[in-house]
Chains A and B, each alone.
Chain A
Amino acid sequence: MLPSGFPEAVADEETLARFLTSSSYFSATTVKPAAFLPNPKAGMTTSVFRHDAGNLIQIARDRRPDVSIHGAAVCKAAAVRAAKLEVVAEEPPPLHANIVGWPVEADPVLQKAAQREKALVITSKCKLVLF
């Protein structure tokens, strides 16, 4: 059991939230793939939060009060696994997890293209929640 009280293993049916730090990361009802691309500075992972619907805004406020958060892309962990990626709990902060297993290629542009394809699979299953 993690300090947050959540189990270490992220179940398929758990809801994940990817906070959207740019208003350009979404259109009217859809999340753009750039929102999910992995961060090379964070070990090639994508930061997400495990949540129930009630405390999403509070998690966002606690995370980085100095960064504008416009909303969240919300999906099930199963959607990430459908893209052949994995979700691994990583606390602190509380409820934090990482999407890992992004493709790595010798050609950085090809790597980006492959990662982008997986991001599209994830965003196809996302709902957009605006704050």
Chain B
Amino acid sequence: MEAMYESVWLYGPRTEAISEILSVVATHCRPDWDGEGAEAISQLAADRAIAFIRALPRGVPVPEIAPEHDGSISLDWIDSRSRVLSISIGVSDRLAVAWLDGTNQGHAVERFDGERIPPLILERIRETMGNASVRVS
């Protein structure tokens, strides 16, 4: 574990984001947690989400975390209500990506190999959060 958790300046936002993923898993571990038949958050999805956070280059903002009905994990970069990048991480290496940037919107599928963040996603993060004062990894 080295000193990853001890240096807040180097790893703090990523440590917090990983901690938030684990907290979401723990608080959404029962089936039907939403009263609408939701699946418990998948451990595989959580592993992939954690790998994604660890792969974020230093200086790139970390996302907010949310559970999804099918047991996936949502990573959201929110600059404002109309400037958001949202990614779904599930059990496969394919990520569902969508963005809203004022009147510009779109969606795509990207592949994450567990080590390197797809360039499209990095570009979208920077475009979405360019003006934000946020946690950077």
Do A and B interact directly, with beta carbons closer than 8 Å? yes
Stretch of A4-12, A35-43, A50-58, A85-93 contacting B (4+ beta carbons < 8 Å) = A35-43
With a CB–CB cut-off of 8 A, which chain A residues contact B78?
Answer: 27, 30, 32
In contact, B66 and A117 (Cβ under 8 angstroms) = no
Closest 3 CB pairs of A and B: A67-B35, A116-B98, A112-B96
In contact, A39 and B108 (Cβ under 8 angstroms) = no
CB distance from B22 to the nearest CB of A (A): 12
With a CB–CB cut-off of 8 A, which chain A residues contact B34?
Answer: 21-22, 67
A120's partner among B37, B68, B95, B105 (CB-CB below 8 A) is: B105
With a CB–CB cut-off of 8 A, which chain B residues contact A42?
Answer: 36-37
Tally of contacts, chain A with chain B, CB under 8 A: 113
Binary interface encoding of chain A residues 8-47 relative to chain B, with 1 for a CB under 8 A from any of its CBs, else 0: 0000000000000111110101101111010111100001
Beyond the given pairs A33-B86, A66-B35, A113-B96, 9 more chain A to chain B contacts, judged by CB atoms under 8 angstroms and listed by A's residue number, are A24-B24, A24-B28, A30-B78, A30-B81, A37-B69, A114-B107, A116-B96, A117-B105, A120-B100
In contact, A124 and B84 (Cβ under 8 angstroms) = yes
Number of interface residues of A (CB under 8 A): 37
Compute how far the CA of A34 lies from the CA of B114 in the bound complex, rounded to whole angstroms: 23
A126 contacts B by Cβ under 8 Å: yes
Can you identify 20 A-B contacts, CB atoms within 8 angstroms?
A21-B33, A21-B34, A21-B35, A22-B28, A22-B34, A24-B28, A27-B64, A30-B81, A32-B64, A35-B66, A41-B37, A47-B36, A63-B35, A113-B109, A116-B107, A117-B105, A117-B107, A119-B86, A121-B100, A124-B84
